[in-house]
Structure 1
């Protein structure tokens, strides 16, 4: 049970339409049900969504999200994204594992993905980028992608705060953090 209870079905028609649009007819995630219980929070949350067809590839987007959630120790959101998007994003088991356990220099990542993960790590640790980190990122990603990367890091840090702070129970079918060997 979450620290703040969510909406109970049947949902108001507009909320149900919103859930259906986001979830493509599948039952809504606990995160959505809990946030939707507060109209202002739900409106702001939906306005900040970055799961549309933005400038990043699905793979790039998911590397950023998975790494951000793992660094924030948010198994809830990390597990949802791994379950729903990892296969479509072409992430291998080693890469999924590396988002939670390894550094940016893990051999499973390309040079551009290493720059991406380095930036996620820096933003998480310091909320800024060094000139060298920005230069390495700029060598692989244009301005539109850089904005998206920074926005994703911030948005999913917020999602992690919500899921962790409200103590959301893990989704039944979501992935679980890997255990270090």
Structure 2
């Protein structure tokens, strides 16, 4: 049950302008639109463009962050819109919720899961994990990975606190394997 209902048209002109520059059909953006200033900052701070990490790496970090923080809405949106484009198998999608770093045989992906988990759990990484990550990722990538976890922490807080309902066609968290 939504605690804060997404806005519906007709929108105030400032809100309409901001929503016109993002996927306004998504309930998340229409919910954040209750505060046009915050919505405009989200638009400017989005990290879904081509960055220093690959689409697959980016989506692994986002899926893992949102899963670990219980943000089923955002996890489901990213599964629906990006998991296929990023080449995730059904088992890999499940592993973003229920697997650990060992579920990812590629060294870079196991490191991404370990980095994400450490940041979600402790808001930092220890020296050993940093050294391993710095041997695989460039400084630009390490900053982007950290920013992705941080931004999707914010997104997770927002969807969890406001109770944004899942989008039509977006999956919920899978049950754990038996």
TM-score range (shorter-chain normalised) is over 0.9
Per-residue CA deviations over 1:116-147 (Å, capped at 9, x if unaligned) read: 11000000111111111111111211011100
Q: TM-score, normalised by structure 2?
A: 0.93
For the 8 Å contact 1:79–1:175, the answer to whether it is kept is yes
Q: Which residue of 1 aligns with 2:159?
A: 163
Is 2:174 aligned against 1:175? no
Q: Which residue does the alignment assign to 1:19?
A: 19
Structure 2 runs not aligned, ≥5 long: none
Residues 105 and 114, structure 1, Cα contact 8 Å, conserved in 2 = yes
**What is the alpha-carbon distance in structure 2 between the residues aligned to residue 74 and residue 84 of structure 1?**
16
Is the Cα–Cα contact under 8 Å of residues 71 and 100 in structure 1 kept in the other structure? Answer: yes
SS at structure 1 position matched to 2:80:
helix
Q: What's the C-alpha RMSD, in Å, of the aligned pairs?
A: 1.5
Distance 1:145 1:3 in 2: 36
1:110 offset after TM fit, Å?
Answer: 0.6
Alignment of 1:62-101 (within 5 A): 62-101=59-98
SS at match of 2:21: helix
Contact 2:15 2:36 in 1 (8 A): no
* 2:132 is the counterpart of 1:136: yes
Shift of 1:62: 0.1
User: Post-superposition shift, 1:28?
Assistant: 1.5
Report the secondary structure of 1:22's partner residue. coil
Tell me if the contact between 1:95 and 1:109 (Cα under 8 Å) persists in the aligned partners. Answer: no
Name 1:149's counterpart in structure 2. 145
Cα distance between partner residues in 2 of 1:20 and 1:3? 24
Tell me if structure 1 keeps the 8 A contact 2:18–2:40.
no
Of 46, 51, 56, the match for 2:48: 51
- Structure-2 residue corresponding to 1:123: 119
Aligned residues: 177
Unaligned ranges ≥5, structure 1: none
1:70, 1:100 within 8 Å by CA — same for their partners in 2?
Answer: yes
1-structure distance, mates of 2:163, 2:6:
12
Does the aligned pair in 1 maintain the 2:18–2:39 contact within 8 Å?
no
Deviations 1:57-102 (A, max 9, x none): 1000000000000000110000000000001001111111100001
Bigger shift: 143-152 or 40-49? 40-49
